[in-house]
Structure 1
Amino acid sequence: MVTSIRFLEDLRRFWRRSRSTILVGLALALGATAIGAFVNWRRVGAANKVIEALRLRRDIDIGVDARSEVLLARIGFLSARNEFDRARILLEALDRNGAPHTRARGHYLLANSLLRQALTHIEGSELDAASPFVNLAKREYRRALQLYPDFWDAKYNLDVAARLVRDFPDFDRKGGDELSADPKKLWTDIPGKPKGLP
């Protein structure tokens, strides 16, 4: 009992002596926290403006040290314009600093653009030109799935790209001048659909 009373008296004396120092320290800590929150709020606001401008298809150049959300928006913008090399530079920066889900989304956006380019070449019967785009798209889809295994859209699109390789086996061929395309192999197999009469 005596020790607890002595402890309380020591605590009161300490509070009387250092009350102003503690209050000043708390005030400074709260001030620093408020300033940090304000600076972060301004950065988030600026990032949202850039993302909105990119969504509206305005070309805004950003650095590789931008926030991961801004990098992702710029990757989507560049991929939609088929500027694959510029998008890949930002994707490498995103891979260094972004969260796995955000990184997976970046690889998915680039892969979609590569696959669209491949399909454009296929529609124009330019199978030689389509082959590298299909293979690059498959690689990007696989990378997205490594980062985020439950990414269903990436799984589906990887299956589409894999079916293109199966339906156009010459995509894997390394040499030769002519590509043969059997008209029967141009259609993908639909699961559950019979292939012919019994």
Structure 2
Amino acid sequence: MSAKPLSLLGRPPSIAALLHRARGPVRTGLLVAVPLVGAAGAILCAGLAWRDVSANRAIAALEAGTDRPVSVDAPPELLLARIRFLVARERFEAAEPLLAALDRTGSADLRGRAQISLANARLRQAFAKLEAGELDPAAPLVGLARQAYRRALTLRPEAWDAKFNLDVASRLVRDFPERGREHGEEMPADPKKIWTDIPGQPRGLP
């Protein structure tokens, strides 16, 4: 008569059942180990809860305009909040390591949002240069904004604001009055001409 095969679908034995079956030193070891495992689990849960609370407080502070230091191993949501805080103040170099960290650990949605924030900040810089008549430094800023918008749209194709602002940036490049320059001659800047054919009210964007 063949042996009955063991079922792999049965319910695993409970801790109480294991303690009942165990004898001698094994039972003593289980009695000691079970409370230790439970205590370790409780400590781990408490640590995770504290980290979440701390991260949420830091995110709220950053969104309110109060700076908070953030390490590269912070939760992705906190990385995004700090990136937004930095790029809004044109502190792009400080944001670079956080952007790299978010690229490693963040979801496509969070990474896309970070790129949109970066692109918006670059485009605001370009607008300021154009309005001041500084055409030469404005051109590379528009290029950087376009690159960031394209990266954002690969991660968040549904981001309509990014599509609109990319179109604005592309029209700015098209309308740069480079054709009016000849042999290095300086051309008087007329910011009003830069805004020609741009839909909506670009002064309010991004």
User: Quick check: 1:120 aligned with 2:124?
Assistant: no
User: Quick check: 1:111 aligned with 2:115?
Assistant: no
Residues 61 and 184 (structure 1 numbering): CA distance in 2 closer, same or farther, change over 3 Å?
Answer: closer
Instruction: Read off the aligned partner of 1:188 and give its amino acid letter.
Output: D
8 A contact 1:168–1:181 mirrored in 2: no
Q: Identify the match of residue 196 of structure 2 among 171, 187, 191.
A: 187
Residues 72 and 179 (structure 1 numbering): CA distance in 2 closer, same or farther, change over 3 Å?
Answer: farther
Tell me the TM-score normalized by structure 2: 0.73
Residues 64 and 24 (structure 1 numbering): CA distance in 2 closer, same or farther, change over 3 Å?
Answer: same
Q: Quick one: distance in 2 between partners of 1:84 and 1:177?
A: 33
Q: CA deviation at 1:143?
A: 0.6
Q: CA deviation at 1:32?
A: 3.9
Point out where structure 2 has 5 or more consecutive residues left out of the alignment: 5-12, 201-206
Tell me the TM-score normalized by structure 1: 0.76
Instruction: Provide the residue aligned with 1:102 in structure 2.
Output: 110
Indicate the larger mover: 116-125 or 144-153: 144-153
User: Quick check: 1:18 aligned with 2:22?
Assistant: yes
Instruction: Provide the residue aligned with 1:8 in structure 2.
Output: none
User: After the TM superposition, which residues 135-174 of structure 1 pair with which residues of structure 2 at under 5 Å, given as runs?
Assistant: 135-168=143-176, 170=178
List structure 1 runs of 4+ shifted beyond 2 angstroms.
13-16, 18-37, 175-186
Give the structure, 1 or 2, with the largest relative contact order (CA under 8 Å, sep 6 or more). Answer: 2
Q: Identify the match of residue 90 of structure 1 among 77, 98, 101.
A: 98
| Cα RMSD after superposing both structures | 3.2
8 A contact 1:119–1:130 mirrored in 2: yes
User: Quick check: 1:67 aligned with 2:43?
Assistant: no
Higher-helix-fraction structure = 1
Q: Quick one: distance in 1 between partners of 2:114 and 2:163?
A: 15
Q: CA deviation at 1:89?
A: 2.4
8 A contact 1:76–1:110 mirrored in 2: yes
Instruction: Read off the aligned partner of 2:161 and give its amino acid letter.
Output: D
Instruction: Read off the aligned partner of 1:149 and give its amino acid letter.
Output: P
Classify the secondary structure of the residue corresponding to 1:82.
coil
Q: CA deviation at 1:59?
A: 2.0
Q: CA deviation at 1:37?
A: 2.2
Q: Quick one: distance in 2 between partners of 1:185 and 1:81?
A: 25
Instruction: Read off the aligned partner of 2:196 and give its amino acid letter.
Output: W
8 A contact 1:127–1:179 mirrored in 2: no
Q: Quick one: distance in 2 between partners of 1:44 and 1:114?
A: 31
Instruction: Read off the aligned partner of 1:160 and give its amino acid letter.
Output: V
